[in-house]
Structure 1
């Protein structure tokens, strides 16, 4: 390890508004769960993403879990999901006793391939085995190709839950991912484009779904003067203090997107001559560049060698997500395709991309990458 300060992959970027809202929570003694910041955060967030309702929760994973449960997904059902994703997209499928069916990516966005999905559903229709739901992941800050996927879901009666945990601020034809399906899910984990330290949001145009989600997230307490429960609930609600952080973060979301896109642009401007290819921006909308992702062009250059070289100069980089069908936990699941996401994993790397990166920090990353490729 050297004496350079650490450059993180995607560190929190906190400003002054967050402090004000949190201070209000302390000044008014609203430090217990729920409260005015939670109410306002839900309203403001729903307005930003273009849905009618939202429920602030403890994590994006909790939001996927509730969305699946409220969609009626249960034991023995099948749920389609991208293989190239973080495990939190898939684990809630198991929470409700359902079985994941994993589908490969397409190269234009790295998200689920509509053509493979179409072929898979046609085969399943022949044997009358249509999956119950689809967790539609929007990866690394870029929307999937939503329209053909929604058309297939509508044709076959499949419930769509959008996992937009990594894609807040992205667009699909001028709309926000997460606003197309039955429900949308967002994450405010510490490394996301905005953060509440830990937290998530479930959004929907269905008021009854969000009301039921709020009930389930507060231990499913029935409306009675005593503690009465008629269904299993969870402790999934966001605190009023953390919601205050989220409100301040949401105020500057467009600035955060612009900053990350600027980081990406400088990488591409100064590294375009090296044997690497950056994740494309699909034609249908804005990529937030939550993370700057690339693949190495030549087999003699291995992503792990690059990552370790950067690590020696105290720069954090990470591999592209290891596909779920290659994970021991999901190795037995049905997989549709696989060559694209396997190649992205075997050749892919994520670079430091935070909206609070300084020019000097990014220069360090660029210099280190050039040094790696220009070694004798």
Structure 2
């Protein structure tokens, strides 16, 4: 058992230590460290200097890591506010319209929004609609396909199933094929092929997106083409199951993505069916749309496009990836140095007088 004197002494020491740490944080000074007594052994002195140096490097590494991750966390929160189109987003927009604002007086979140406003404002908004659109036919699979995984079925079987579907259920209906492509440097292109009248559309997206978002935007461009020309009872064929599943889920909800709502409203008005078919199995129309999407990667015409919230978050994650990698490599190099290298790299002011080699001679 501890005596009351020992308990009070321990408590006072803890309070003094916490107060010193608090004052060091406020004044942005390094934490105080205990200087070993002159009579202490060289080994104890060496360990004391080593612990102090590694502790300061650990603290610096943690601060740098947090500063890098802070932007990703803040960007994720802003992106969700932009998608919801709520009061916070309206306040950020009003702040951006004030050209006389002093950036030094803004919070980190406000500065991040202003610096990347073109990204956040491109996020497709969620809107509330009064009615469901259950009458729109969205088919993310084929009736005769017993599995939902394309990789489990032979390519020739998939081709025959797709051709059979087009020659039976969709016989004598206008067919519009869509596809999207993404290059290694992040550029995205979309292609639309109207088999009914031979129209070919290819566009490069201004803002990079995921491939599923690009496929959805390709469907939107195709629906705009259908609506503009007044093509009735057409079938829109895409090789993106995620895009079809996304549209089918949006069809059954009253809280809808604005891009999905635009597609579904036009599909309802023109009685268009959205059908998934397997890609890269030599279906003629799909191969043509795929070629157009690849050509669009180097096309001169660049389309202003919406992005989804996960695209905005991925943009900031990729931008910070190089910073995180740089921090990690530097941290590994610092931690990998030997004690002698760390001591020799320090200045004379950092090495106390009692650490000099001549003080250890007996």
**Range class of TM-score, shorter chain:** under 0.3
Q: Scaled by the length of structure 1, what TM-score is found?
A: 0.23
RCO greater where, 1 or 2, for CA within 8 Å and sep 6 or more?
1
Q: Scaled by the length of structure 2, what TM-score is found?
A: 0.24
**Highest Rg: 1 or 2?**
2
Q: Which has the higher helix share?
A: 2
